[in-house]
Chains A and B, each alone.
Chain A
Amino acid sequence: MFSLADPRYSNPILSELQIKPEDQIISIRENANADSNFIITHLIKQFLYEKHKLCLVTFHSNVAHYQSVGKKLGYDLLSAKKNNEVIIIDPINAMVEDVGKESGYLREDKDSLLKSLYLDIKKHLNTLLGNGDHQANLIIDDLSHLVDLGVDVCQMINFTTYCLNLTNNDKISVVLNNHVGNKIDEIVSNNLQYIANVHIEVSALKTGASLDVTGSFTVEKDSRKRVFHYKAYDRGIKTFHPGESIYHLYK
């Protein structure tokens, strides 16, 4: 039996993704001109509904963005943070202090930057897990900004390996979002696709921008690949199979 309130059945995106607790590694690849943020915000919705703990690393958008999108999707990230269900590591905010100083996120020694970031993540996940019997999720949005900070490909692979090894603990699962903009991103993303339980790829339409369809995404799971088109609305996303947009938009 399932409850109708369960977003895995009622929400169009989550019902297509069908993420289960055993899917410990979820990788999201964001291609040029596409925006995969909606996948992450929807996954947060599911995790919070399932009473999972959450560690969110925000490189791309600030917390206000997640909060206002979350409100529209029906969850309150900041109150979950107050209740110690969510811990947010906020590099885009923390970086402001480091600008011009070569410290923190902008330090020259990239190895030590990644090490301290990893140790932070690990510490927070351990705090979240505590002694209770619940799952904890790590979401990084998005990895590729580490490349902007000057991290090279070996260090990136090392860092992702460390993050993926967190899943040795059955209670931890990781969601890694990666925008593909140059060679390094491509390599990292291909590796993630290889190792992930669920690989989601969000792309813009090949034929250019459209008002009826925002973009397409593919879900690869158990060597099965499904393609969807989606249309973003103010308060949610509609999904449909390619070619079926007309039935859904004029219904």
Chain B
Amino acid sequence: MSADTGLELPASPPGAGARRRGGTWRSAFATPSGIAGVLLMAGVLVLAAMAVLGLTPASPRAQDVSQGLLGPSGTHWFGTDQFGRDVFSRVASGLANSMRVAVVSVAVSGVVGITLGVVAGYYQGLADRVVGVVNNVLFAFPSLLLALALAATLERSWVTVSVAIAVVYVPIFARVARGPVLSLRTADYVVAADAIGRSRLSTLVEHVLPNMAGILVVQTTLSLSWAVLTEASLSFLGFGTPPPAASLGGMVYEAQTLAVIAPWMLAFPGAALVLAVVGLNLLGDGLRSALDPRRADR
């Protein structure tokens, strides 16, 4: 699991980073992989938006068995499944579901995990010990197994799936946030802020957090791709987003027995899933190289 974003901390005080910010985003999207990531994610978001706004050619749940297992055509761009449901509309709806679960789970785990990591690293002592033990326990489970156990015991819906994935990601965010805080709290400008009598909390908010924002942005992007994969795996195993709602993992599961006679049922949801994950990974890579001070002068 990619817990390490591979970023170094900025040595400069806040302000210097802010001046560069416009340039950071521009250079993130100027690398070939960054551009590819942006384009892929734009495509994914357009499809997801179509599904959310009800602009897909058909309802993702509308069945018509007489139109079952049709190949791709002008009316059904990605073909139909065994119930005659339009695969294109279901892929769009499945992408919307993936994005929704990924954003909610990463938002929850990010807020909780970063708070835990920052508190542990900044205040140390007992807080650090307790967070350390909780982290060790959560890390002791293979990630999919923990998410599976949680998702299986809660009532099945996309919200509980998001919560299950969020729990798995809390320790990763906590660890990623703790490291930079440990070195930033002894940085000269943080010590200086303490020395002129700022409260510890305002030093934390004004000087420590802004300087680790880059690391957290990269980690968040990469976590989104892992969350998409985990949601899909859970749905494939039958413990994710419940049918008849469309989920990419669930569609792959349904295609398992039919893929030989209806390969489009496997190919399109599979491709959508892979492209969404590749897009998020490329975006994360682009951001990482743009935010990496070692590569700034290249």
Whether chain B is bound by chain A comes out as no
